[in-house]
Amino acid sequence: MAGNSFIYVTYIKTTPKDLWTALISPEFTQKYWYGIRQESEWKPGAEWKMIFPDGRIADAGEVVECDPPRRLVLKWQNQFKPELKEEGYSRCVFEIEPQEDVTKLTITHTIDRENSKFIQAVSQGWPSILSNLKSLLETGKTIMPMRR
Amino acid sequence: MDDDAVFRALADKSRRLLLDRLHRRNGQTLSELCEGLEMTRQAVTKHLAILEDANLVAPLRQGREKLHFINPVPINEIADRWIDKFDRPRLGALSDLKKALEEKSRK
């Protein structure tokens, strides 16, 4: 559990409904995910894909749970790097909780193997993606293009 | 989440040490975090509560255990807001200087 998961928590001045829309809508995702868009019918068992601007598939998997605007669980496998793809499916849980005047978003990304390269790789990306998401919802703008 | 809470939480050596320990190995229990430290269990509990309030540490209940995970999101926000913003113009200035000097030496 310890070396193979990451938790990200952020508080955003928005409503659970708007946050949910931001998490799944293709137009919105493209803005805070550096051009990547998602495709899915967003119901349990449905296919899920993340697609690069040039059409290549970045990641793919399946919707496991979908309870708008509270909880989304995805089976998630990298598709474009063989050494990450061979690690198989990870599990990504999005939890949305309304608080006093903000909405709490918790993302838990876990894979069932120790010292996962996949988890290392996604841990580089999540913090900037979440900062962008927060900024987009609160101010209508993303902070900046990708660092590093 | 306010930046003050994050800076206050980071402005303490013991709390930075706890973050470093979680960075080395994420998802530790209180007892694991206390191992080999000169702090009392009570002091570690107090520091963890401050880190949790600042959203730098996220707790996860697993059965009867409470695991502590580092949450890098507020640190990333501070980096965006307080480091990159000031760093970029300076790096830009450096590369302008380099370009100007190299052009000069070519003349």
**Is residue A38 a contact partner of residue A129, using CB atoms and an 8 Å limit?**
no
Angle at A118 between CA A116 and CA A120, to 5 degrees: 75
Answer whether A9 sits within 8 Å of B55, measured CB to CB: yes
Cβ-Cβ contacts under 8 Å, B33 against chain A: none
Q: How confident is the model at residue A148 (pLDDT cuts 50, 70, 90)?
A: very low
Of A3, A11, A143, the CB nearest to B1: A11
What average pLDDT is seen over chain A?
90
Local confidence pLDDT in tens for the 107 residues of chain B: 578 999 999 999 999 999 999 999 999 999 999 999 999 999 999 999 999 999 999 999 888 999 999 998 998 888 878 877 777 777 777 777 777 787 777 76
Subunit contact A3:B77, Cβ cutoff 8 A: no
Give the nearest chain B residue to A1 (CA atoms): B27
CA distance B32 to A147: 34
**CA-based nearest residue in chain A for residue B60:** A7
Model confidence at A61: pLDDT above 80: yes
Question: Is 70 exceeded by the pLDDT of residue A35?
Answer: yes
CA distance B56 to chain A (A): 9
Pick from B6, B4, B7, B45: nearest CA to B18: B45
Please tell me whether residue B51 adopts helix, strand or coil conformation.
helix
User: DSSP states of A1-37 as a string?
Assistant: --TTEEEEEEEESS-HHHHHHHHH-HHHHHHHTTT-E
Which of A2, A8, A134 has the CB atom closest to B71's CB atom? A8
Whether the complex's predicted ipTM surpasses the cut of 0.85: no
Whether the bond into A68 is cis, omega within 30 of 0:
no
